[in-house]
Structure 1
């Protein structure tokens, strides 16, 4: 009797996957699965009516990316027709919409659907997921073998935690859920916050409002502006990028090399930290031109303790405009007509814009339940037990994208997303081609060791300094910072090959059943070369991590550089 194909080694069983979130992470997952897998079903649920995640939700005046536009793309999917060096949110969302169309990913999307909860069924080895349609109100029940949380970390607006928030009688809006129909012309506006969003909002609205009062609780390090002329990408440049993709590739590579050359800036007392601090203190001082205001606007903490803001000199200049008033304190409370400062002064406003960032606690919006009453929501209140940005301690068959300990502040985020998707796909591949696997989860002791390692390394970095940053959920200290304890290149090398021994595999039946009936996949491919391993020279993969890394990073292809230095940061 002839052998049965389904019994060949590594036969791929059908795997059902649910992804929560249709932002950059979820769309990358959909693309990678389509590129490399067969016999799978993917559904991506997103509460928004369109893709883009953060870039759909953030549409406040002046909203733009703080990474050069041509590098805020997937590594394999350039965009030649960006109109500015720092693209606006609408243009970035259009990039992701175009990505969906190009690769025909619409079939996987369930938009305007909010996940209400997920429960692990140990007996069946599946996640049971409840979803609410935001258009009909109907509750939908779904299930999957693999559940992936691609919700990101900038998806829960953090309102000011002060009294009277609901007493204010005017227009109140959060920068992360901005209402573009609000008319600010000739209005008195209050901006609460002075971080990345506020730095973009203030210069954008100052020319049209009657007055604007901005509350600056703590300063930020800001970088010089790109001039208006240099900030816009000319039609001629755009046409060149379209006509000659190699020119755009060289620009992207050079931008990336610069970003990847400065990680030691984030190490306390490093030479780059000293150089950058001296440069920014000097340049910011020239703009501020007041010793009293320098004390209020130039941080005392290290550069990079919280995110450094590009093109921030326009913000500093705008603070000097006649219709702008800066209040160097937190908001004490809201009142029916405005806000109170900490010294008891009231500031009336027609519109209050709360540019107060996000809840970056990583606590899920919805319950993620395991037998014996375990809920990830409550467990992560006590301690974040994420594994390398992708795993959740002792929760089976579930992964995160842009989860805790992702390099979100020290490099190009989309590159980290790609590494995470590749890593998760390795687990999906193994789950699919070893049909006896019931479940996979990170071991508790591995997660504990990883967190202890992170804590040790973080003591040497600026992220444990005296500033409120998103990695500490906007507190000064209080928890181990949840960014990656190294550079983006460090992360890529750490994530290149899964450490299988950090993971617990549970099987049903014989763990070697994947070996099948002794027939290879090659023998089931009528077009395959049955002598593929016979060759003239050794072109096989390198057997050491050292040689594999040298090949990947093209060692020897670039002129030698001075390590851990960046000429652009030296004071002239």
Structure 2
């Protein structure tokens, strides 16, 4: 598949779909919120398992999610393409070891075409609320722009953990008179030529953006709060012979994918827990730093004071060289506030800027829900998650029957591909939906005691990981609760989702009432 070789899957195709098809009186079997990787993957696996009465509701005008939104210069994945793709939809034509955002978006669009998911997607449908009706066992889904409500027997929330981006809440940001750009909402019409640019943040997006900006802007000032561990990146072009071999003998691509998986899986021993292998990871990063940065003072400013893995590892060969360009300067003083002309740092200096690029500021659902969700007995998920999100195996939440999450709480890997975890979630939730439909259940709800037991053990395990070792990161809430990461190997995460254990759930038939009061895990039949 060549990069963006075919027309985008999106607004141009909407006229081919019947208007108002999503608003029929008959409830859907499955409503999928979001048409990114997770939503498209869930739709494919549902169809392959014989479940076809579903619709995907996408707020944008085309598919792709994160990879549709993040089009900043240099945008790419820091996981090898062989791993950053679904095992059930292999792509033999990745052009490089690590693919750019355009090629990844093209892969998502190719899945939509190959598996004929397009007719099931409803674009420009922004979900603004969901409410569960216990009497009918249906979810009522409300959309913006006065679109008709939709009822569904089950819902898959596949909106993604980094789907909502906003400018950070910094003092004086409303007074700044220059141009503001967020990395996830890039302004391709803005000309950086000859401009003074400030970049706020030095995370995964920033290390890709900064090398591109120094090539075009008159000056670039990089505002760093804390340095990160940066590892070298070997991004080789995939030869035509290799791509041909993958097409003709798919098993070879599977073996290559497995090799990458186990290589990354071994890294967990150095970044998930503080072990002697952590020193190896840090030594590689320090050697990379020393080989690229000659100035001792700049090396000191770029050396982290926390263990590798505590914050997200960064992968880049051109970030350090970019910082040493004549038109680039690293600023390590804390930002005090924004002013009309730029950024004031804590020592009282104002750094003037024509444009500020914010490579930070994502509304990650560590606390609160991504959309308003009202469950059984009027409970509100945002309230229950206000001090930190939680779920059963990242996928289901007690009190919210027939609702399933992709990339839910504590499903983040610190060492392997997110799509490996996501694929396990998709297999699990599509199996669970299959049980609900095959048995004609009104409600399938995870038991509260199983959920509590799972999370108590999870938080206990998180206490011994590098993520909870004291550094400040977006993995944690303000009071230090980790609702983001999974404390173990990818193989462990996949194994726990290998099958739906019905003992973990309350199964309520359509003609039965659920006992009220404490979550006893009992459904009372009226027959």
Task: Normalising by structure 1, report the TM-score.
Answer: 0.81
1:327 aligns with 2:340: no
1:330 shift after superposition: 3.4
1:168 aligns with 2:176: yes
Q: Report the secondary structure of 2:96's partner residue.
A: coil
Provide the rounded CA distance (Å) in 1 between the counterparts of 2:249 and 2:427: 29
1:444 aligns with 2:448: yes
Look up the match of 1:308.
313
Residues 243 and 506 (structure 1), Cα distance of their counterparts in 2 relative to 1, 3 Å cut? closer
1:139 aligns with 2:144: no
Provide the rounded CA distance (Å) in 1 between the counterparts of 2:496 and 2:183: 35
Provide the rounded CA distance (Å) in 2 between the counterparts of 1:97 and 1:268: 37
Look up the match of 1:68.
80
Provide the rounded CA distance (Å) in 1 between the counterparts of 2:192 and 2:236: 25
Residues 205 and 181 (structure 1), Cα distance of their counterparts in 2 relative to 1, 3 Å cut? same
Provide the rounded CA distance (Å) in 2 between the counterparts of 1:408 and 1:159: 26
The aligned runs of 1:363-512 (5 Å cut-off) are 363-370=368-375, 372-435=377-440, 437-473=441-477, 475=478, 478-509=480-511
Kept in 2: contact 1:464–1:481 (CA 8 A): no
Look up the match of 1:347.
351
Look up the match of 2:39.
26
Kept in 1: contact 2:229–2:303 (CA 8 A): yes
1:288 shift after superposition: 2.4
Q: Report the secondary structure of 1:69's partner residue.
A: coil
Kept in 1: contact 2:271–2:414 (CA 8 A): no
C-alpha offsets along residues 401-452 of structure 1, whole Å, 9 cap, x if unaligned? 11111133331111211111111122111111212x2212222222222221
RCO higher in 1 or 2 (8 Å CA, sep ≥ 6)? 1
Kept in 2: contact 1:407–1:487 (CA 8 A): no
| Structure showing greater Rg | 1
Kept in 2: contact 1:15–1:432 (CA 8 A): no
Provide the rounded CA distance (Å) in 2 between the counterparts of 1:408 and 1:145: 31
Kept in 1: contact 2:274–2:465 (CA 8 A): no
Among 16, 25, 37, the residue aligned to 2:50: 37
Provide the rounded CA distance (Å) in 2 between the counterparts of 1:54 and 1:18: 20
Kept in 1: contact 2:272–2:414 (CA 8 A): no
C-alpha offsets along residues 499-555 of structure 1, whole Å, 9 cap, x if unaligned? 3222222234479xxxxxxxxxxxxxxxxxxxxxxxxxxxxxxxxxxxxxxxxxxxx
Residues 248 and 502 (structure 1), Cα distance of their counterparts in 2 relative to 1, 3 Å cut? closer
Residues 245 and 422 (structure 1), Cα distance of their counterparts in 2 relative to 1, 3 Å cut? closer
Q: Report the secondary structure of 1:202's partner residue.
A: helix
Kept in 2: contact 1:20–1:151 (CA 8 A): yes
1:235 shift after superposition: 4.3
The aligned runs of 1:44-123 (5 Å cut-off) are 44-123=56-135
Kept in 1: contact 2:390–2:483 (CA 8 A): no
1:103 shift after superposition: 0.7
Provide the rounded CA distance (Å) in 1 between the counterparts of 2:335 and 2:252: 49
Residues 246 and 493 (structure 1), Cα distance of their counterparts in 2 relative to 1, 3 Å cut? closer
Residues 234 and 267 (structure 1), Cα distance of their counterparts in 2 relative to 1, 3 Å cut? closer
Provide the rounded CA distance (Å) in 2 between the counterparts of 1:298 and 1:343: 22
Residues 202 and 401 (structure 1), Cα distance of their counterparts in 2 relative to 1, 3 Å cut? same
Look up the match of 1:5.
none
Question: Any gaps of 5 or more consecutive residues in structure 2?
Answer: 1-25, 514-527
Kept in 2: contact 1:407–1:491 (CA 8 A): no
Q: Which moved more, 1:213-222 or 1:166-175?
A: 166-175
Residues 267 and 409 (structure 1), Cα distance of their counterparts in 2 relative to 1, 3 Å cut? closer
Q: Report the secondary structure of 1:322's partner residue.
A: coil
1:234 shift after superposition: 4.2
Provide the rounded CA distance (Å) in 2 between the counterparts of 1:458 and 1:240: 42
Provide the rounded CA distance (Å) in 1 between the counterparts of 2:330 and 2:497: 45
Kept in 1: contact 2:41–2:426 (CA 8 A): yes
Task: Normalising by structure 2, report the TM-score.
Answer: 0.88
C-alpha offsets along residues 264-318 of structure 1, whole Å, 9 cap, x if unaligned? 113443121122222322332332233333332111211111111112x411111
1:463 shift after superposition: 0.8
Q: Which moved more, 1:91-100 or 1:332-341?
A: 332-341
| Root mean square deviation, CA, Å | 2.2
Provide the rounded CA distance (Å) in 1 between the counterparts of 2:33 and 2:434: 20
C-alpha offsets along residues 314-341 of structure 1, whole Å, 9 cap, x if unaligned? 1111111100011013322111111111
Provide the rounded CA distance (Å) in 2 between the counterparts of 1:504 and 1:344: 60
Residues 272 and 248 (structure 1), Cα distance of their counterparts in 2 relative to 1, 3 Å cut? same
Question: Any gaps of 5 or more consecutive residues in structure 1?
Answer: 1-12, 512-572
Kept in 2: contact 1:42–1:108 (CA 8 A): yes
Q: Report the secondary structure of 1:451's partner residue.
A: helix
C-alpha offsets along residues 386-412 of structure 1, whole Å, 9 cap, x if unaligned? 121101121111110111111333311
Q: Report the secondary structure of 1:388's partner residue.
A: coil
Residues 329 and 451 (structure 1), Cα distance of their counterparts in 2 relative to 1, 3 Å cut? farther
